Structure 1
Amino acid sequence: MSTSPHQRRAFRGDARFFVGIALVALSVGGVWTLLSSADGTRPALQATRTIVPGESISADDVAVVEVDLGALADDYLQPHDLVEGAVAGRTVGAGELVPADATTTSDDRRSTTIVVESSTGLPQSIGPGSTVEVWQAPPLDDGRRHDVPRLLLGDVVVESVVVPEGVLAEETAEVELVIDRSDVADVLAAITGGAALSVVPVGIA
């Protein structure tokens, strides 16, 4: 039996139709695969305030955000990584994603806080989370003057600042510092010995 020209044209038309459908399906599938692979977001923890070393980290201090970190995803804390008793091992700025290596436990904490009075006041750039140095000028034997300043503490973190009100407000300020426990004795000796202490940003002195 011979096939008429009309039947051959109809067959070619149907074939082109099915090929078109197949191409559309492949295109849609490719776009879907591309979008699926591009959506690599995962939940991570973001600090809602500046957290300084030694401070406890709880759910109140962080927010859960969806981010695409790619190969760095394991370098940052996820919600299930925040355990009870977690404390900051270093400063985490407000709005910063919390690195996995920025937390420790209270059992491993080797730092404490101490309040010192800066006799020279504080630059406005110093605030919670700032890294500072503490310089001391020991008193001379006459009790009226101080010796040449020398470095007491280097690279310590400010937890809080209290600026007193009144006439001397610009000349003095109390600063709560996060220091290593091994430095406590030296700081207390400087304070009780009458040394004039100055808190300055790192690199200024």
Structure 2
Amino acid sequence: MVPMTAVETVRPRARAFWADTRFVLGIVLIVASIAGVWAVVAAARTTVPVFAATRTIVPGEAVSGDDLRVVEVALGQVGDAYAAPGLLAPGAVATRTIESGELVPRSAVGDPAAARTTTVVVDSATDVPAAIAPGAVVELWAAAPLDGGRFDTPRILVSAATVAAVAVDDGVVSNAGASLELVIDRADVADTLAAVAAGSSLSVVPVAGVDTTAAREAQTGTSP
């Protein structure tokens, strides 16, 4: 009788752990995560030169080099939204109020030919609040003259005007009789000039809910 040969069990050789697909995928994910974090940090530290206003600029006013200064700020992907050296067209005018210290958005400056505003000078018949300064948004009220030196009920002549300048006579104690340079829409010019020519009593009133203080906190060096 022939003895039976013992059957040997052959076990497959274990693969090295670095050849495991899951291991390789984990390494790839870790590297990608580190690269992503590095890119975010690098972008946050990258600054670009943009313009900031050195004074309050009102709509329709020309924007010159004296009104701007170059600052280095970290804006990330929104950097192209702001005016920068070489990107501001000569003769550009403000299309809205740009506060002193504010980073200048490219949308806030435009071609003077497309400007829809102009400036007029009016004399206020009432005291001008101290909060009314260049850049403030106000209503212009008018009361038509009546017989006997009386005036009709005041009505809003211009619902939203921007103060460009305020001139007060130093010889009087109150601000009554102050002259104001207002930026108004061209559509309101005819009615405003007609009211001035007719001798209407004009007054300016701050627009409710709008900050009429001189300048907002400077944004230099901060993200908008």
User: TM-score under structure 1 normalisation?
Assistant: 0.79
Q: CA deviation at 1:39?
A: 2.0
Aligned CA RMSD, in angstroms, stands at: 2.2
Distance in 1 between the 2:85 and 2:56 partners? 18
Asked if residue 197 in structure 1 is aligned to residue 191 in structure 2, the reply is: no
Identity across the alignment (%): 51
Q: 2:93 aligns with which of 67, 87, 90?
A: 87
What amino acid sits opposite 2:114 in the alignment? D
Distance in 1 between the 2:204 and 2:160 partners? 11
Structure holding more strand per residue: 1
Structure holding more helix per residue: 1
Q: Any unmatched runs of 5+ in structure 2?
A: 1-36, 210-224
Q: CA deviation at 1:37?
A: 4.1
Distance in 1 between the 2:132 and 2:94 partners? 20
Distance in 1 between the 2:60 and 2:104 partners? 15
- Contact between 1:118 and 1:174, CA under 8 Å: does it hold in 2? yes
**Hey, what does 1:112 align to over in structure 2?**
118
User: TM-score under structure 2 normalisation?
Assistant: 0.72
**Hey, what does 1:154 align to over in structure 2?**
159
- Give the 3-state SS of the residue equivalent to 1:113 in structure 2: strand
Deviations 1:34-92 (A, max 9, x none): 86444221111000000000111111110110101122212211111111110000000
Distance in 2 between the 1:81 and 1:116 partners? 36
Distance in 2 between the 1:176 and 1:67 partners? 34
Distance in 2 between the 1:143 and 1:44 partners? 59
- Contact between 1:87 and 1:104, CA under 8 Å: does it hold in 2? yes
Distance in 1 between the 2:89 and 2:180 partners? 30
Alpha carbons of 1:138 and 1:71: their partners in 2 closer, same or farther (altered >3 Å)?
A: same
Distance in 1 between the 2:41 and 2:191 partners? 60
What amino acid sits opposite 1:191 in the alignment? V
Q: Any unmatched runs of 5+ in structure 1?
A: 1-30
How many residues are paired up? 175
Alpha carbons of 1:138 and 1:68: their partners in 2 closer, same or farther (altered >3 Å)?
A: same
**Hey, what does 1:45 align to over in structure 2?**
51
- Give the 3-state SS of the residue equivalent to 2:189 in structure 1: helix
Alpha carbons of 1:37 and 1:85: their partners in 2 closer, same or farther (altered >3 Å)?
A: closer
Asked if residue 186 in structure 1 is aligned to residue 194 in structure 2, the reply is: no
- Contact between 1:111 and 1:181, CA under 8 Å: does it hold in 2? yes
Distance in 2 between the 1:167 and 1:193 partners? 25
